[in-house]
């Protein structure tokens, strides 16, 4: 080994006395007399530079023989479907979530890819950050056109309609008016729907009930049932009109289990439940969401049939992070920051076991969908790109 050449290559590590250097497949270990060894990752560029200088031959470096630990679970995650084929009276598009029997793809590939449902609103939401609003300014006055654009241009798997105008503090739109819009939306696009209210606990059950009736048989997701409102009314509407229910709780696995039990006791088929344990954005408590979601998924895989339901993430919450939307020169362009904040939040939730993602930014949606597709392939079938920084110039 030509030590002089090697020292020149790694002199950036500090110009200190070096005792010896050990070359490993994944790192250089630089031993120095006065402290712990310095470990330099053996990246492909470094490996190539060492080879170009004649210090090593790449073929002589033993690659690490690593096998990830494979867990076998006695439980499973229920599969929930939205929409119906025309043969069953539906509009022809069926979307499925869940069905996993493992936590990680390297343990067992997933049967269904993650699903993205685009958020739209029944009235223009001018408070949207400009980097998001720019995609929808031409359709925000018409929810049906908004839905069409999400499907045709941005390949939405599903649409989430938020009937925010029904809030008594906004416009107090009646449940009947919300149902009329729901009828129009069902005619506008063929993808399944998530039907949301305004968040008002008194009004939402009435709105969801009315919308569930006009969407009878289309198997939508009623969003949402929680412990602060009349969830039995939502359960009755779901069972009467053939829909699924989103069970929303606040980052507490025990609360999620309790709500699921109450919904089932009220008559809801457990195969019609999707859990939403609440998504906190990157930098705004995301670690609490990771904790709750991972625990719920693991408990479900271990056999707890009160929490072995698919999970949904309100990934849109990432757009509320001030670091994502605030215009500040030393933070860099918002056009990059905003989608990256939603992408990072979404991928984190994906790795925590989430199956369905409610999202806003088309750039973030495209990225998450591409990553999600790899989860349904068998380990070893996807070849990694050598240049992992292509996304910077995307």
CA distance 28 to 30: 6
CA quadruple 187, 346, 155, 86: dihedral sign: negative
CA distance 152 to 254: 40
Residue 1: per-residue pLDDT: 45
CA distance 191 to 218: 10
Q: Which residues pair with 273 in a beta bridge?
A: 245
CB distance 225 to 231 below 8 Å: yes
Residue 328: per-residue pLDDT: 83
Place of tokens 């591409």: 370
Taking CB atoms within 8 Å and a gap of at least 24, the contacts of 170-179 are 170/123, 170/198, 171/123, 173/122, 175/203, 175/206, 175/207, 175/209, 175/210, 175/211, 176/210, 178/122, 178/207, 178/210, 178/211, 179/210, 179/211, 179/213, 179/214
- Helices of type H across the chain: 3-9, 44-52, 130-133, 143-152, 175-188, 204-214, 231-241, 253-265, 286-301, 322-325, 334-351, 362-373
Q: In terms of DSSP bridges, do strands 193-196 and 158-162 run parallel, antiparallel, or are they unpaired?
A: parallel
Tens place of pLDDT for every residue, the chain, 394 residues? 455 656 655 554 445 566 667 777 677 777 777 677 777 777 777 777 777 766 666 554 455 556 777 889 999 999 999 999 999 888 999 999 999 999 887 788 889 999 999 999 999 988 888 889 999 999 999 999 999 999 999 999 999 999 999 999 999 999 999 999 999 999 999 999 999 999 999 999 999 999 999 999 899 999 999 999 999 999 999 999 999 999 999 999 999 999 999 999 999 999 999 999 999 998 889 999 999 999 999 999 999 999 999 999 999 999 988 888 888 878 888 888 889 999 999 999 999 999 999 999 999 999 999 888 877 776 666 554 545 445 445 4
Residue 104: per-residue pLDDT: 85
For residue 111, count other CB atoms closer than 10 A to its CB. Answer: 15
Residue 13: per-residue pLDDT: 47
What tokens were used for 350?
């994906």
Strands of the sheet containing 244-248, edge to edge, are 273-276, 244-248, 221-225, 193-196, 158-162, 115-121, 356-359, 312-313
CA distance 384 to 238: 43
Report the alpha-carbon angle 215-264-304, nearest 5: 120
CA nearest to 161, candidates 205, 219, 91, 211: 211
Residue 16: per-residue pLDDT: 56
CA distance 146 to 310: 27
- Where b means 16+ CB within 10 Å and e means fewer, 316-343 reads bbbbebeebbeeeeeeeebeebbbbbbb
Question: pTM higher than 0.95, yes or no?
Answer: no
Question: Which domains, ranges and CATH numbers included, belong to the chain?
Answer: 3-60 (no CATH), 79-376 (3.20.20.20)
Residue 36: per-residue pLDDT: 75
DSSP 303: T
Q: Which residues pair with 248 in a beta bridge?
A: 276
Residue 380: per-residue pLDDT: 61
CB distance 327 to 338 below 8 Å: no
CA distance 298 to 296: 6
Residue 93: per-residue pLDDT: 96
Q: Which residues pair with 115 in a beta bridge?
A: 356
CA distance 200 to 229: 9
Residue 373: per-residue pLDDT: 80
CB distance 90 to 241 below 8 Å: no
With H, G, I as helix, E, B as strand and everything else as coil, classify residue 27: strand
Q: Which residues pair with 27 in a beta bridge?
A: 41
């Amino acid at each position: 080994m030509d030590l002089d050449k090697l020292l020149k290559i790694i002199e950036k590590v500090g110009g200190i006395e070096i005792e010896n250097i050990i070359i490993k497949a994944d790192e250089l270990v630089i031993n120095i007399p006065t402290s712990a060894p310095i470990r330099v990752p053996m990246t492909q560029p470094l490996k190539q530079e060492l080879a170009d200088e004649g210090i090593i031959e790449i073929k002589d470096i033993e690659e690490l023989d690593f096998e990830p630990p494979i867990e076998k679970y006695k439980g499973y995650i229920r599969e929930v479907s939205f929409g119906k084929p025309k043969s069953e009276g539906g509009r022809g598009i069926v979307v499925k979530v869940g069905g996993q029997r493992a936590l990680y793809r390297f343990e067992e590939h997933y049967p269904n890819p993650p699903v993205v449902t685009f958020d739209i609103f029944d009235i223009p939401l001018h408070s949207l950050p400009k980097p998001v609003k720019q995609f929808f300014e031409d359709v925000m006055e018409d929810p049906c056109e908004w839905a069409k654009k999400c499907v045709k241009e941005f390949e939405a798997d599903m649409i989430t309609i938020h009937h925010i105008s029904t809030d008594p503090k906004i416009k107090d739109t009646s449940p009947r008016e919300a149902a009329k819009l729901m009828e129009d939306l069902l005619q506008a696009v063929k993808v399944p729907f998530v039907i949301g209210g305004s968040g008002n606990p008194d009004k939402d059950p009435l709105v969801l009930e009315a919308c569930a009736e006009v969407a009878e048989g289309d198997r939508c997701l009623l969003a949402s049932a929680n412990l602060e409102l009349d969830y039995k009314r939502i359960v009755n509407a779901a069972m009467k009109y053939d829909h699924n229910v989103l069970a929303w709780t606040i980052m507490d696995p025990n609360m999620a289990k309790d709500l699921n039990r109450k919904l089932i006791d009220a008559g809801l088929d457990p195969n019609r439940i999707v859990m939403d344990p609440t998504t906190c954005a990157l930098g705004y408590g995301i670690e609490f969401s990771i904790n709750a979601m991972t625990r719920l998924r693991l408990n479900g895989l271990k056999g707890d049939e009160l929490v072995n339901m698919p999970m949904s993430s309100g990934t849109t919450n990432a757009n509320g992070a001030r670091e994502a939307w605030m215009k500040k020169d030393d933070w860099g362009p918002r056009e990059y920051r905003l989608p990256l904040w939603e992408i990072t939040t979404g991928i984190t939730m994906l790795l925590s076991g989430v199956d369905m993602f409610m999202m806003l930014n088309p750039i973030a949606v495209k990225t998450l969908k591409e990553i999600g597709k790899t989860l349904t392939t068998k380990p070893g079938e996807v070849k990694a790109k050598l240049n992992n920084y292509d996304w910077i110039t995307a």
